[in-house]
Structures are given as C-alpha cells and as structure tokens.
Amino acid sequence: MEILRGTVLSEGLVAGEALVLSSGEVIIPDVVVKPSDREKEVARFRRAVDGTLKEINELTNATEGRLGDLTRMLGTYQSLLADESIINQVLEQIRTKRKSAATAVRQVIAGYVEDFRRMGGPLANYAPELEDLGRRLVARILGKELPSLDRLPRKVVIVADEITPMQALSIDRDKVIGFVTQSGSPESHTAILSRHLGIPAITGIENVASIVPQGASIIVDGLEGVVVLDPDKAMKQTYAMKIRRATRTRWQTTTISPEESVTQDGVRATIRCNVDTSDHVRELAAMGADGVGLFRTEFLYIGKAVPPDEKAQAKSYEETLKAFGSRPVIFRTMDFGADKFDARVDAVKEENPALGLRSIRLSFAREDLFRTQLRALLRASVHGNARIMFPMVTDAGEFLRAKAILEVVKSELKAERVPFAADVPVGVMIELPAAAIASAALMKVADFGSIGTNDLTQYTLAVDRTNGRVSDWYKPHHPAICRLIKVAVEAGLATGKEVSVCGEMAGSTRLVPVLMGLGVRSFSMAPPRMGQVVDRISRLTLPACRALADAVLASPDAEEALAVIDAFESRAVEERAPAPRKRRS
C-alpha cells in the first residue's frame, strides 16, 4: 500500500481500477525527403490539419448540448490550427529542409511549446493544448490512434501526466469515475470539467503515471487530497464506509437539514456551500444548505471566448440568488492571480504571482472590470439575499477603498434609475496573516468576515499549496494557523459580526471540532462535504471542542497538534447515534 498526496481539483470519494494513459508520443525517424516527394508531404500535412479540425468540430457538436459553454475549451485548438505562422513554419521545414510532415510538425510544435513555457504568463497556459495538437497531427499523418476515453469497457480512474481538453470533453461519464494527474491547476480544463460533472480529481503528484501500475487498485480521496495505491484490507474497509456516506455526487440531490447541524449540547452551526458558477444551482439549493458562503466569481471568465459583460454576469448572479431565495449568497469579487490567471484581465508576467498584482489589488488596477462586476452584482441583488465580499484585503484602509468604489457604482446606478438593493452587506476575506492580525479594525468597518484557510495557511507557512513537492509542509492544523483563526473569530464576536470559514478546513471532519472550539459557528464547503460535516457536528459537545482547540493552540509544533487531533478522533463517539438533545433558545 502506498499513500500519495496532491492538490484537490474536484471534491469526492471513489475507489476503482487505474487506467494509466500514455502521452501518445510516437517515435519519428528523422529522414530526408526526396525533392520529388516534398509536395506529397505537404499534402499529408494539410490533410492532417483538415482531419483534426473536422474532429474538433464534430466533438464540439456532439458535446455542446451536454456541456454547453465548456465546449469553448476547444477554441484554443481551432485558433492554433488557423495560426498562419505555425502552418508556414511547418511548410518551410518540409519544402526547404526536406523534413517529413510528421518530423516538421513535431519540431515546430516543440519549439513553440518551449517558447510559451519560457515566456510564462498567459502563453504558458496554452502549452498543453499545443502539445496535444502536435500529437494529434503527427498521429493522423502516420495513421496512428491516440488513447481515447469515449469507449471504455468498465469504470476506471484515469491516471496521467495531464488530461488534455479533447480527452476531457470526450470522456465516457458513466465509466470515468476519477482523475489523478501530475499537472493541473484550479482553472485547468480537467478541473473545470471534473467539477462540472462531479468527478473527483487530484493533481500535483510527480511522475504519477510512472508510479501507478496499469490496472492497479486505487482510491481517490478528493476531500483530503490523498490517493491510496493498492490499499490493504483495513484501508479498503475504512474508505468503503466513507464512500457509502458520500454516495451522491456533487450535483445529485442529497438533502441536509439545518436543524441537524447542532451539537449534543445544543449549539447551532450554519452550513453553507461553495459555488464556482451558476450551473446546477437549483440542485445545490435543494440540498438544504443555509446558503452560499463563497461564490467564486472569477470562474465566470474561465472557458469563455471573451470576458463576461455586465449583462452576462448579472444573469449568472441572478440565477443563483433566485435559486436560494431568502438564504444568503456571498459573492467574492474576482480573485484572479497566482493559480487563477486570465490574460484578458492581466497579461503581465510576474516572477512571483502569489505575491504580485492579484485579487483586490488587480481589481484596483483594472477598475473598469471591477466596476462592471460591481454593477452586475448590484443589478442582481434585487433577486435575493446578496452579499459582496472583497478578497486578499490586508487592512481596513484597503477595504474602505474597495467599498468607496462600490458606493460610486451605486450612485451611477441610482442616477440611471437602475433598481438595486441599497443595503447589500459588504464583507471581507481574512486570508492573509496581516488581515487576521488586523481583524479587530477590519471587523469594525466590514459587515462580516470569512476566513479563507487555504491562502491563510499558504501565506503563513510559506508553502505553495498547488506544489506537490512541498505538500507535506502544507499543514492547516498548525498551531500558528489556529491562533490566527482565533484572533479573527474573537474580532467578530467583539463587534457582533459573523466570521465564517470557507477554506478546506471548513469541510474537514477532522478539523471541524477544532474550529468549533476556536469559536467558529459558520462553515462553507464543497457540496459533497456538507452531509459529513453536519453528521460530525451532531456528535460533538462544545466543552470537548474547546478543550481540543486549547490543546492544539498549546502544541509546540504541527506534529504534536496533529497527534492531539488524532487522539481526539480515536476516542470520538462518531459511530454512535447521537443522544437526544435539546436546542438552546
């Protein structure tokens, strides 16, 4: 048995058989073409281009009704196939240097891929599609078939260095139950599609396609970011129980009852869900959550040919608000930067984007886009219980600067006689150590706060949470993280304002007792985790949680803190039915 750790792209739990995909690369002998055969090679290349374009168009038509706007992922392929500079360089290699069509394609594409990756920024994001396009052209020239995911004999977990957009869009949804890859990011095509379809996905595992044997037994824990290879009997039994508890996928309706998220001694916890787009919001609303604790608005941009305008954004926000009715929906303004990059928002390459012009800083720099988004949010606000939240704020001054722009936008809409909710609550993400330390001042000016534990952990411990090489250092249970959370929660209590948690910690059944002990009473998480968190809370008592939190805070390091948490879990009564309880008035 081997346990591999990576980064979660899509939530969920599955166990099955591994299907390891090869890259599809073929060996091409570097031969010199006879002068008389050059035009034959040109013709082979042009047929490959036409055939590949036809294949893309057919895939678009076949999936558009099922996947909608996601088929626009294929637009990159179409653009690259229409790029005259690429076409002309391949033709020059054939006609001038007498390369075969396959060799010419391979060399030209390899050169572009290297250039794209070296330049970084938005161009680097196109490298995987360009590599895949090169493989497809070469395979078509040579009459070879690439690995296909549309006709699979049985259910499998796909293991690969990277899943290409064409592979991702052509998957057999009934047979592909999980993804495990070496490369990927939250805005990658695999991540977007897997979240859309409710398929658990984990990335950031180095050389995973070499580590995992073909057909191996594999467990994908898309809640904790763990892949278990060849699990032993005990591990299989443990996960069988976990999977039974989470039998529904993200978009299937598993209802929870807010009345059930009450501790044994009657302390109520609010359970909300995280949302990427307005897709499936009706199903999500039917699951019974107390609302949306985090709507990631930046995902409205990803996969689109052009940035969404005010009307398109307002429509998405309106759909979500209507679906949740009187329940609050917290919209985080666009949080671009670091692992979520869009060239249409900011095309400047930064050496260290995690510490660069991202999130609220980028909104200040691109106030035109920020104002458009705020106008859309305010337009939609009349359709439900909308709340607006600013990300990556460091102090009260930055928050007030962002709120001042919001007030200007309100004045503009009022002058235009556009209806909007004038009293929309405005909150702040507490996800930087500076914000947590300054939370007393922040909570005096903000209407509510939300602790983003992912970035709070990343910035406090100086660990890139998307880098598999340092994933062992990413420890949200670290006493320093818990202390910052406690400071922020106490700032909320002092001002009578809610401070919730919307990062990965909120959905961890192991860490929820710690958070309850630190004073957290509102949690927002990926939909599949809600039922498990409600169940966990119903088996807790507040004194036990407080004792646990105190022990974690008193721990000298992360290892001892984890030992304290593990000891708490080992003696927990989570398998016993909760005793009858009375709710506090």
Q: For the residues of 75-106, what is the DSSP string, one character each?
A: HHHHHHHT-HHHHHHHHHHHHTS-B-HHHHHH
- Whether 133 and 158 map to the same domain: the answer is no
- Domain C-terminal end among 81, 115, 142: 142
- Domain C-terminal end among 102, 119, 142: 142
Give dist(CA 516, CA 512) in Å, integer: 6
- Whether 287 and 384 map to the same domain: the answer is yes
Residue 352: inside a domain? yes
Give dist(CA 297, CA 329) in Å, integer: 12
- Whether 43 and 190 map to the same domain: the answer is no
Report in angstroms the alpha-carbon separations of 418 from 45, 54, 250, 257. Answer: 56, 46, 36, 37
Angle CA 538–539–542, to nearest 5: 90
Residue 578: inside a domain? no
- Whether 342 and 215 map to the same domain: the answer is no
Residue 585: inside a domain? no
pLDDT on residue 81:
84
- Whether 46 and 91 map to the same domain: the answer is yes
Largest Cα separation within the chain, whole Å, is 91
- Whether 166 and 86 map to the same domain: the answer is no
What is the residue-level pLDDT of the chain in tens, covering all 585 positions?
899 988 888 878 899 999 998 765 666 777 788 999 999 999 999 999 999 999 888 887 777 656 655 566 677 778 788 888 899 999 999 999 999 999 999 999 999 888 877 776 556 667 777 888 898 899 899 988 776 777 788 899 999 888 877 777 788 778 899 999 987 766 566 676 777 677 899 988 888 988 999 999 999 998 788 999 999 998 998 888 878 766 544 444 457 776 789 999 999 999 999 987 776 788 888 888 999 999 989 878 765 556 789 999 999 999 999 999 999 999 999 987 544 444 445 555 566 667 777 889 989 998 999 999 999 999 999 999 999 999 999 999 999 999 999 999 999 999 999 999 999 999 999 999 999 999 999 999 999 999 999 899 999 999 876 565 676 788 999 999 999 999 999 999 999 999 999 988 998 888 999 999 999 999 998 887 788 899 899 999 999 999 999 999 999 999 999 999 989 988 775 444 444 444 443
Give the count of alpha carbons within 13 A of 41, CB side only.
Answer: 25
504 alpha carbon, distance to own chain's centre: 11
Query: Going along 333-392, which residue ranges are E strands?
Result: 385-390
Give dist(CA 227, CA 207) in Å, integer: 13
Give the count of alpha carbons within 13 A of 264, CB side only.
Answer: 16
Which residue's structure tokens are 């050496």? 351
Residue 514: inside a domain? yes
Name residue 386's amino acid. Answer: A
Residue 60: inside a domain? yes
pTM above threshold 0.75:
no
| 570-575: Cβ within 8 A, 24+ apart | 572/539, 573/539, 574/535, 574/536, 574/539
- Whether 428 and 493 map to the same domain: the answer is yes
- Whether 421 and 372 map to the same domain: the answer is yes
- Whether 124 and 17 map to the same domain: the answer is no
Structural domain span for residue 198:
2-22+147-245
At 215, which CATH number?
A: 3.50.30.10
Residue 27: inside a domain? no
At 62, which CATH number?
A: 1.10.274.10
Residues recognised as catalytic: 189, 502
Residue 288: inside a domain? yes
How would you classify the pairing of strands 292-296 and 13-20?
Answer: unpaired
- Whether 353 and 448 map to the same domain: the answer is yes
Name residue 145's amino acid. Answer: E
Residue 93: inside a domain? yes
Give dist(CA 376, CA 307) in Å, integer: 13
Q: Please check whether residue 388 is in contact with residue 358, taking contact to mean a CB–CB distance below 8 angstroms.
A: no
Give the count of alpha carbons within 13 A of 446, CB side only.
Answer: 35
Say how many C-beta atoms besides its own lie within 10 A of residue 371's C-beta: 17
Give the count of alpha carbons within 13 A of 30, CB side only.
Answer: 4
At 325, which CATH number?
A: 3.20.20.60
Query: Going along 479-548, which residue ranges are E strands?
Result: 499-501, 522-525
- Whether 402 and 540 map to the same domain: the answer is yes
pLDDT on residue 581:
44
- Domain C-terminal end among 76, 107, 142: 142
How many domains does the chain contain in total? 3
Q: In sequence order, which residues have a C-beta less than 8 Å from that of residue 518 and are 6 or more positions away?
A: 482, 485, 486, 489, 549
Q: In sequence order, which residues have a C-beta less than 8 Å from that of residue 445 and are 6 or more positions away?
A: 396, 399, 400, 403
- Whether 166 and 296 map to the same domain: the answer is no
